[in-house]
Structure formats: C-alpha cells, structure tokens
Chain A
Amino acid sequence: MTTTLTQMIGAEFLKLRKKRSLLAWSLLLTAGTTVVVFAWPAIQHASDSSHAPAGGLEGFRHALDTVGVFMAPLAAVLIGAEAGAGDLASGVFRDLVVTGRSRRALFAVRAPGALMLCLPLVAVAYGIAVLGTFALAGGTPTPGAGTVLEGLGWVLLTNAVVCVVAVGLASLTGSRPATITALIGFQLVASPLLLQTTSLGSIRAGLLESTVLHLAPVTINRGMFVSESLGVALVVMALWAAVSLGLGAWRTARVDA
C-alpha cells in the first residue's frame, strides 16, 4: 500500500511538473519576481548612490514579503488548484476511480504531489533572496544565520499552507479558474482590506494572512499587523489547511465522476 501511495504521489508530481504553462508561471512568480525585487533596486543604486543598496536587511525584508506573502503564494495557488481540480477538468478522474482505488486515496496524494513541485520552487526563490541579501548588501547590516534559517522555514510553511488550501478548495469546487480567482481575490484584495478594518478587532486573527504576517521572522510592515499569540497563529493556520482538505476530501468522495 505504501509503495502504491508513493507511486501515486510520484504520478501526481509528474502531472504537475510536465505542465509547461504551470511551471513557467510558477517559476516567474517565485524565482522571477525575487530576481526583480533585487535587480531593480540594484540598478537604481548603481546609477544613483542616493538609493539604498538592493540587499541587506531591508532587501531581505522585501524579499520575504515577495516570497512569503505576495508573489510566491500565487504560484502555490496555481499549483494547488491544478492538483486539486486537474483530474476532474481533464476527465481522467473517472478513469482513476475505475481502477478501484478509493477516492480518499486519490484525494490524499494531491497535496503531497503539489508540495513536491511548490516547495522546491519556493526554496529556489528564497535562495535567490538570501544571495541578493548578502551579495547586494553594500555594507549595510545583514540578517543573522538564525534569521535566515527561520525565514526559510517560514516561506516553506506559509506557501505549503496556501498550496494545501488551494488543493482542498479546488477539489471542492472542481474548477481551477474558480479556485484561482477566489483565492487570489481573497489573499490579495479581501484579506488586506479586512486586516486594515480595525473595527473587526481580534476576528482578523482568523485570517490566513494575519497568521502568515505574525509568524514572519522579520517585521513585514504592510500596515496590517494583528496582535495574536503564536499558539493562536499556528492553530488558525492548521485550521485553514484542515478545513480545506476536509471539504476537498468530502467532495472527492461524493462527486459524480
């Protein structure tokens, strides 16, 4: 059974990594945007020294914002949505059901397969961020080794959760476009607005973006910080993942194939 599940996860990864458009967009949103985050300030600094160097602690902060909050999670959404709804959209889900394999098992391999593609891309983007932080510091302070390691864990965790939420939601809706639109709209538009609505008080701590910002190794000041404990942040993050996966599994078990 373990061998079968391992093979199924490998098959899921194969489906995702061979989709060129998905891979191209994901690379652009992770590594590509991280390069831009450093390249543009570096060009500015080179042409006018009154501009701060691209790297250093400030550059690291910008890079974390890109890789952990803003751009790389979009790639996580794309990958998760493809993993969650790809089989249904292509009509292959029916043929997988006909193998006799349980629908629960067919669902269970989606998230690991998606993470196998998503996390290495995020790690590469983070590697570029660290490289830029130190190589382009220009004598300004740089983060310590502990912060760098903490940052790696944070970007992997936040992107993994977003990816898993996308897998669950896509499995629930059976639609990639609907999932991508809903999640990107929620993360990029609704969440920032809700986080800045101070009248909502501590309810805002239940937003995924709030916990992501809370767990960041350096303060990412987007004017949206909600005070909450580490425990609450972790529980909220776990709940987002669990509820999404639960709904996705429920739907996968019942949907007409």
Chain B
Amino acid sequence: MLTLSSDLPSEASAAIATTGLTKRFGERTAVDAVELFVPRGCAFGFLGPNGAGKTTLIRMLLGLTEATAGTMTILGYRVPAARRQALARVGAIVEEPRFHPHLTGRENLRIVAAARGPEVAKRIAPALGRVGLRDRADERVRGYSLGMRQRLGVARCLLADPLVLILDEPTNGLDPAGIQEFRQMIREMVEQEGRTVFLSSHLLDEVEKVCDLAAIVDAGRVVVQGTLAELAGGEARHELRITVDDPALAFLTLDETDLVRDVQSRGDGLSVVLAGGPETAGAVNARLVEAGVGVLALEPVRQTLEQRFLQVTSRLDSTPQEVAA
C-alpha cells in the first residue's frame, strides 16, 4: 500500500488507525493486511468497488465481527480491548440503517439512547431537529421513506455526540436533493463541528465532493491513500500537454532528452510524461526553445480521481511501487 501523505503520525492523533488488519472467511481474504490512518477533523473517503472489503473493515472497527489478525484503534483506544471507550463517541451507519418498524422514530432513538447511557436521552430531540425529522418523529418507522430512514440513522449517530462518524454508503437510495443535503450536512459536521467523518463509498463523485482525504481499496487491500489531489495526480506521474509550431521537431528534440519518460505526438502538439517532478516542465520548455521550437502552450494534465481509481483498481496484480509509478 502506498501512503501519499507525509510520515504516518502516531495512533493517538488518529481518529482511526489500523495495522495489518486482516479478515479471512475460510480461504477467502476479505481484508488483507490493511494499514489505514484517518486523521481527526476531516472527511475521509474509503473508496472502492463493490466487494472490495469496505464494509467488512467497518464491521471489524465497530466490533460487529472479529478480525483475523492486526490491530485497530479508534480515537486512540484499542479495539476490541477498549471497545466501550472507543465507541462511546462514535456514531455509525453500517449498510442501510435498520429500525424496529413498529416503533416511532423517537422510540427507536430511545432504544439506542438507553444503551448509551442515562445522559443521552436529552439529545434525542436536538438530533431529530438536526436531521429535519422533528415533525415526523412520532410516526411509525414502517411508514418512513428510505430518505427519512437515512436521516433517522444520522440522528441515531448524533446521540453519541460523535467525534467520529462512520458512514457506509450513506446516500444509497436518496434522491438528488437528499444526496445534496446529506453532503452538506457532512461538510458542516467536519468544518463547523470538528467531527471526523469516515465515508465508505463506491461513488467517486461522492468522495470527490465531500472528502478531504481518501483511501482506495481493492480486493481487500488499501492500494493508495492521501489527499484527493495527491490521489488524482498520482504524485509520481507528471504529465504535460504541449502545443507547438513544429510538432515533428519537438518530438525529435524531446525524444532524445532524459527529461521525459514518454513522449507522444498529438495533432499540433505532444503529450509528455516527465521523468522528474513538476519543476522539470521548465527545463522541457527551455530545451524546446533552444531547439528552435515555438512553444504556444504548455499545461499540466490533471488526472481525475476517476482515472486514478480505474488505474489502481484495474492493476490488482501490481505491487504498490508499480501502482505508484
């Protein structure tokens, strides 16, 4: 696994940290030696295709299923050894939120509040208000739409006054307006309230719009993690699109230098992969000018997260170094 951010901080400063976390079901490895570091106070996307092991990892973190190997901490507490302290300030929606359908929304929250402790009951009304369900709180959940259930699920999370929210595919089944509202709520929680949101999703768009950092997981392995810009850029791969007055001469010039790793002709210009970092672009420009090529435009090519996602998740047999390259 490749970590794009600087050196990993200590577990104590992490909202969530895992080391060598593994889960096997018989011969099948669902989660494979995952090293994950989620800093506090950010929205962290846990991105991967369906069946990549996202939910299994979340279930281990929350003590819903046992890990086969490895260690995990939440807010600095070891799980499962100090599970109670770790989860005291954690709210979670795993897969779809489930409720007792014959109870009202408020009664469902009372059930969970009772398990959390006597002081939690007073948070029920504010939590319902926060998710816009105050007026429907005394209706049976059986009659709630999926969107209302999702909101009630968030209200249930808020009962913990959570420092960490773990949301597994939270916008599944929501209409566009609901999705927009949900994303806004997540950003508010992070930016205004300083909570950490761990958002598992297979939707790139969702992670791009909501998260500050992300990890891409595939076949049970975290392939890469870092800021969204780092993930999209791929760090080690810097690409330029150069428009010139003489593409043939430009091609010959750059093909002979060691400044570029790859050069391709593209109509009135070139597509170039730099051998070094982004600062190499200046040297490439100078070399072309020295060779008498008129450089009309030179722009970096930014990969989208989607391109990066497809790139890393389609290279399952690659080593982390190969993926980084």
What residues of chain A have their CB less than 8 Å away from a CB belonging to chain B? 3-4, 7-8, 10-11, 14-15, 18-20, 86, 90-92, 94-102, 106, 256-257
Contact = CB atoms under 8 A, between A and B. Distances in A.
B110 A19 contact: no
Contact of A7 (B59, B97, B108, B118): B118
B100 A15 contact: yes
B116 interface: yes
Interface of B: 59, 62-65, 83-88, 90-92, 94, 97-103, 107-108, 110-118, 121, 156, 160
Given A11-B111, A256-B64, A99 B103 contact: no
Given A14-B107, A94-B94, A100-B85, A8 B62 contact: no
B98 A91 contact: yes
A90 B115 contact: no
B90 A98 contact: yes
A8 B84 contact: no
Contact of A92 (B98, B110, B114): B98
B110 A256 contact: no
Which of A8, A98, A256 has the largest number of chain B CB atoms within 10 A? A98
A18 B100 CA distance: 10
Nearest to A5: B114
Contact of A94 (B64, B91, B101): B64
Contacts of A96: 111-112, 115
Contact of A98 (B94, B100, B101, B121): B94
8 contacts: A7-B113, A7-B114, A10-B114, A18-B107, A96-B111, A98-B91, A100-B86, A101-B116
A10 B92 CA distance: 24
A95 B112 contact: yes
Nearest to B86: A100
Contact of A257 (B65, B107, B111, B115): B65
Nearest to B111: A11
Contact of B65 (A15, A92, A256): A256
Contact of A90 (B87, B101, B112): B101
B100 A95 contact: no
Contact of B84 (A91, A92, A95, A101): A101
A106 B116 CA distance: 11
Nearest to B107: A14
Contacts of A20: 102
A97 to B, nearest CB: 6
Given A15-B100, A92-B98, A94-B98, A100 B84 contact: yes
B67 to A, nearest CB: 12
Contacts of A90: 98-101
Given A100-B84, A100-B85, 13 more contacts: A3-B118, A4-B117, A92-B99, A94-B98, A95-B97, A95-B156, A96-B112, A97-B63, A98-B94, A99-B160, A100-B83, A100-B88, A101-B116
Contacts of A257: 59, 64-65
Nearest to B93: A95
A98 B84 contact: no
A256 B62 CA distance: 11
Contacts of B62: 97-98
A11 B87 contact: no
Contacts of A256: 59, 64-65
Given A98-B90, A100-B84, A100-B87, A18 B114 contact: no
A90 B83 CA distance: 24
Nearest to A257: B64
B72 to A, nearest CB: 14
A100 B87 CA distance: 5
A204 to B, nearest CB: 40
Nearest to A19: B102
A153 to B, nearest CB: 31
A3 B120 CA distance: 12
B243 to A, nearest CB: 55
Contact of A99 (B85, B87, B94, B110): B87
Contact of A4 (B101, B107, B114): B114
A19 B107 CA distance: 12
A254 to B, nearest CB: 9
Contacts of A11: 110-111, 114-115
A99 B91 CA distance: 8
A98 B87 CA distance: 7
Contacts of A92: 98-100, 108, 111
Which of A92, A97, A100, A106 has the largest number of chain B CB atoms within 10 A? A100
A73 to B, nearest CB: 24
Contacts of B107: 14, 18
Contacts of A15: 100, 103, 111
A117 to B, nearest CB: 14
B290 to A, nearest CB: 64
B98 A99 contact: no
Contact of A14 (B85, B92, B111, B117): B111
Nearest to A90: B100
Contacts of A97: 62-64
B23 to A, nearest CB: 11
A256 B56 CA distance: 11
B84 A102 contact: yes
A11 B87 CA distance: 20
A10 B84 CA distance: 22
